[in-house]
Structure 1
Amino acid sequence: MQTLFRYNWMIREEWYKWCEELPEEELLKERIGGMGGILKTLVHIIDVELSWIRDMEGKPDFRADFPEFGTLQKIRELDARFRPEVEQFVLAWHEGLERNILKDERADGRVIEDAWGEIMRHIIAHEIHHIGQLSVWSRELGKKPVSANLVGRGLAGSLPGGE
């Protein structure tokens, strides 16, 4: 689990660097798919990761909305602000947490129950999904996307209990 989070954070950092090569209008341009734009998608990735982790910890949600975080610099600051909190939760992860249940009461009164292990895997898959969208937009711009290859990144055994 931890290895895949570390992988996502590494790839995210590489996308930030990739974004530095584009003019701001390209980062803000409305696009088909994802969250409708490069910066909007990056904010969404951070927001979803933080929201789920905070839900599991029983902490209040923090809404990372666009356009409040509408520049690459503000997105990086948002990520830097909350990454330690998320990382602390991820580093403390152990198999005993897999079956903890998060209960969420919906506006219509239904109660949804999700296992923490499933939520953690959703967070990982969610980011990978949106990184794929960034790769498509990269190709549309005639630019080489960030490599999604996990192999060769030195992540094997980088964290205790990694998957």
Structure 2
Amino acid sequence: MSEQYSTYVKEQYEYVKGSRNVLFEYCKTISPEDFINQNTSFGRGGSMRNLLVHIANTYEYWIANLALKKNLKYAEYEDNLTIQDVILLFDSVDLFMEEFILEMDLSDREIVYKIQGNKNSASPLKFFSHVITHEYHHKGQILSLSRHLGYIPVDTDIMR
């Protein structure tokens, strides 16, 4: 991978982390009861906490376990009761994302994976793009869920 390309990927992930930290600061203002309150209108467990853990699980699956060939145990909702627990969870995500960015040749190497029994392959860049766009999708759900609970969401866009 070219040094310039690697720099762009690192920089983009820093933007993701910055946006995520804005969300975390906002979640600190949410009552503990509302943070874990499940709403059946929202998928993946329907609470802000559960959506955040689901985001981490996606990083664990695609990056840690498939791309880096780790055998991580997936984070459980019940093990992450507070926003502080979730922040610590994402600290571990950031560690293997740093490893992924440093070790993977994002332009050449294909990663083999299976979905629903079908064998596929994709570039590390596609894996990277998948997990960060997935995070933004669910981040929007978290903000929408908080609005349903009576909070005023913050702007978590990279450009704010």
TM-score (structure 2 length as normaliser): 0.79
Gaps of at least 5 residues in structure 1 are: 153-163
Instruction: Give the one of 148, 151, 154 matched to 2:156.
Output: 148
Gaps of at least 5 residues in structure 2 are: 1-8
SS at match of 1:40: helix
SS at match of 1:100: coil
Structure-to-structure mapping, 1:8-157, within 5 angstroms: 8-31=16-39, 32-35=41-44, 36-54=46-64, 55-90=66-101, 92=102, 96-105=105-114, 108=117, 110-151=118-159
CA deviations 1:85-131 (Å, max 9, x no partner) are 222322x277x4234222124674x3222222211111111011011
TM-score (structure 1 length as normaliser): 0.78
CA–CA distance in 2 between the matches of 1:141 and 1:33?
A: 13
Q: Which has the higher contact order (CA 8 A, sep 6+)?
A: 1
Report sequence identity in percent.
23
CA–CA distance in 1 between the matches of 2:43 and 2:16?
A: 17
Does the CA contact (< 8 Å) of 1:105 and 1:112 recur in 2?
A: yes
Once the two structures are TM-superposed, the CA of residue 29 in structure 1 deviates from its matched residue by 0.8
CA–CA distance in 2 between the matches of 1:13 and 1:145?
A: 14
SS at match of 2:139: helix
CA RMSD of aligned residues (A): 2.2
CA–CA distance in 2 between the matches of 1:106 and 1:135?
A: 29
CA–CA distance in 2 between the matches of 1:103 and 1:25?
A: 41
Once the two structures are TM-superposed, the CA of residue 63 in structure 1 deviates from its matched residue by 0.6
**How many residue pairs align between the two structures?**
149
CA deviations 1:2-27 (Å, max 9, x no partner) are 33322221122222221121211101
SS at match of 1:142: coil
SS at match of 1:97: coil
SS at match of 2:89: helix
